[in-house]
Amino acid sequence: MAVSVDEVVPTGPVRDHTRPARRLGGRGRSVLEVALLTVLAVVMLFPALWMIETSIKENRDVYAIPAKFFDFKVTMDHFKDVFVASGGGRSALSVSFLNSVVVAGVSTVLATVLGVPAAWAYSRFGVKAKKDQLFFILSTRFMPPVVVVIPIFLMYRQVGLIDSKLGLILIYAAFNVPFTIWMMKGFVDEVPAEYEDAAMLDGYTRLQAFWRFTLPLLLPGIAATAVFALIFSWNEFVFAIFLTSSDDVRTAPPAIAGLIGGTTVDWGLVAAASVVFALPVLVFAYLVRKHLIAGVTLGAVRR
């Protein structure tokens, strides 16, 4: 992520890109740059490419030695297997994909609905010990989430949230709310409070002023924040594997991981499932890429 941010949002004036190049020997430097970037790109992209290749290879080509890079027969059988069970009907994987959509979607909506008004309130109102409160909220993200897996597991068992989608939704929302508050506070700070003041003088209540004037201006920020939250919930693995066990609750990451570990591994199916799993996130990230950059540089780094 850091690399793409630096590329898209230059921190210095534009001349920084051209003049130093000349100083260090012009063409030589740019050739070196391109070479290094190419190596980097290959290293970064190879696993993804290999995943895509494997997903469209027949199983005997997957195991072929030497590896077949180009001359293999393309098949879509693995993708069919992702969605359709061997005896017909829906496969367990397709159920888990649907679960992922529900869990990630609902937890993101929940985090946004709770976090955006909170961010607005922290930005607009003089709250007692505001900085301490904000720091406390942030501090819940300091620890690696895996630290609390076992306590959460025990608590969930007591209250009956084990092996339920609601349990996953709640825990993901809990992780995403602090993040949403912090990122959105940056965006809210950027929208002048005078809009709301003016609207209040014009006859609206404070909430109406927020709803009608500030919120529309915040939409790009909300989109960026929601995508971050969505990606977190979508990719989350540790809590999903600890807190769920049955096929009709399990989300996609543990379900895909569960494909590995039998006596034989159907690598084609694993790869195809992974491709299907990665696609929505890629599409979302591509759609809001501008806002993601803005979110990284503006929302998170202020003050």
Closer residue to another protein in complex, CB, 71/194: 194
Closer residue to another protein in complex, CB, 44/193: 193
User: Judged by CB under 8 A, does residue 6 bind another protein?
Assistant: no
User: Judged by CB under 8 A, does residue 14 bind another protein?
Assistant: no
Angle at CA of residue 43, ends 39 and 45, nearest 5° = 115
User: Judged by CB under 8 A, does residue 130 bind another protein?
Assistant: yes
Q: Which residues pair with 74 in a beta bridge?
A: 57
Question: For the chain, what is the radius of gyration of the CA atoms?
Answer: 24
Shortest Cβ distance from residue 289 to another protein (Å)? 24
Residue 98 to residues 105, 190, 235, 249, 264, Cα–Cα distance (Å): 10, 37, 14, 10, 26
User: Judged by CB under 8 A, does residue 71 bind another protein?
Assistant: no
How many residues contact another protein, by CB under 8 A? Answer: 20
Closer residue to another protein in complex, CB, 27/128: 128
Closer residue to another protein in complex, CB, 223/276: 223
User: Judged by CB under 8 A, does residue 219 bind another protein?
Assistant: no
**Helices 267-287, 26-55: inter-axial angle, 10-degree rounding:** 130
Provide φ and ψ at 202, rounded to 5°. Answer: -80, 0
Interacting positions 252-291 with another protein (CB under 8 A): none
Nearest of 291, 121, 293, 302 to residue 223 by alpha carbon: 291
AA letter at 127:
V
Cα–Cα distance measured from residue 26 to residue 31, given in angstroms and rounded to the nearest whole number:
9
Interacting positions 179-218 with another protein (CB under 8 A): 192, 194-195, 197-205, 213, 216-217
User: Judged by CB under 8 A, does residue 126 bind another protein?
Assistant: yes
Interacting positions 76-95 with another protein (CB under 8 A): none
User: Judged by CB under 8 A, does residue 133 bind another protein?
Assistant: no
Nearest of 229, 262, 236 to residue 106 by alpha carbon: 229
Closer residue to another protein in complex, CB, 45/127: 127
**Helices 92-124, 215-235: inter-axial angle, 10-degree rounding:** 140
Site residues, another protein (CB under 8 A): 126-130, 192, 194-195, 197-205, 213, 216-217
